Amino acid sequence: MSNILSHLDPNLVSEVKDAALVKQIDENVQILREGQYVKVVPIVLEGLIKVFTRHEEKELLLYYIKPNESCIMSFASSLKNEPSKVFAVTEEATSALLLPVDKVSKWTKQFPGFNTLFFQQYNLRYSELLDTIHHVLFDKMDKRLYNYLQEKVRLTKKNPLKISHRQIANELGTAREVISRVAKKLEHEGKLKQHSDGIEIL
C-alpha cells in the first residue's frame, strides 16, 4: 500500500485495500484521454505517468505523476462527473493503485483526512502549473529545452534519454524544427550531446 495513505484513518485504509486495485501498466500506455469519463483515480506506486493537454495537434506537458502522488485532474473530474480535460500516458512501466470513483466520492464525505490528502496534491500541482506557465511565457526555448531534459533525466534516472525531437516538441508545445535548431545550439555550447537514438546531458 502506498506511503501516501499511511497516515490516514485506519478504517479508510481498510476500505481502500478492499475496494482499490493495484495494476501493472506497460510503458507508453494511454490510461486517460480528453473527453473520457474518469472511472478510477490513480495513485502511482512505482513508475511515472505523464499528464498533458492537446490543442490542434500540439501538446503541452502539464506535470508528471511520481510515486506516492495522484492526479488532481482525474480527482476533480470524478467528483463532478465531468469528462477529462487532459491526457495521461505512462512514461515508463508503472504500478498504480486505482481508486474507484464511486468510493472516492464517498470517502471525501466520510473521511476528512482523505480531503486533506488531495488538497495537498492540489497545492503541489498548482505550483507545478505556475512553473509551467512561467517557463512558457518568459523563458527562451533554449532554457526551456535544457530544463526539460534535465528534469527528464532526474525523473527517469536515464542519461542518455531515448527521445526524438518530435516527442520533445510535442511535450513543449512547439515545432520539431524549433527543437532541432535549439538542440544543435545547446550541443555547440557543450551542454548536451545528440545520438542517433536520443540525447545525452553533459
Per-residue pLDDT at 139 exceeds 80: no
CA–CA gap between residue 104 and residue 13 (Å, rounded):
12
Task: Please give the grid coordinates belonging to residue 90.
Answer: 505512462
pLDDT, the chain, mean: 88
Phi, psi of 140 (to 5 degrees): -70, 160
CA–CA gap between residue 193 and residue 187 (Å, rounded):
6
Structural fold of domain 3-136: Jelly Rolls (2.60.120)
pTM (predicted TM-score): 0.76
Q: Which helix (H) or strand (E) holds 98?
A: strand 87-100
CA–CA gap between residue 149 and residue 172 (Å, rounded):
11
> Which alpha helices (DSSP H) does the chain contain, by range?
10-19, 72-80, 101-110, 112-138, 141-156, 165-172, 176-188
> Using one digit for the tens of pLDDT, what is the confidence trace for 64-98?
999 999 988 888 888 888 999 999 999 999 999 99
| Confidence at residue 181, expressed as pLDDT on a 0 to 100 scale | 93
> Using one digit for the tens of pLDDT, what is the confidence trace for 140-188?
889 999 999 998 998 888 999 999 998 899 888 888 899 999 999 999 9
Could you tell me the pLDDT band of residue 2, with boundaries at 50, 70 and 90? low
> Which CATH code fits 139-201?
1.10.10.10
Domain locations in the chain? 3-136, 139-201
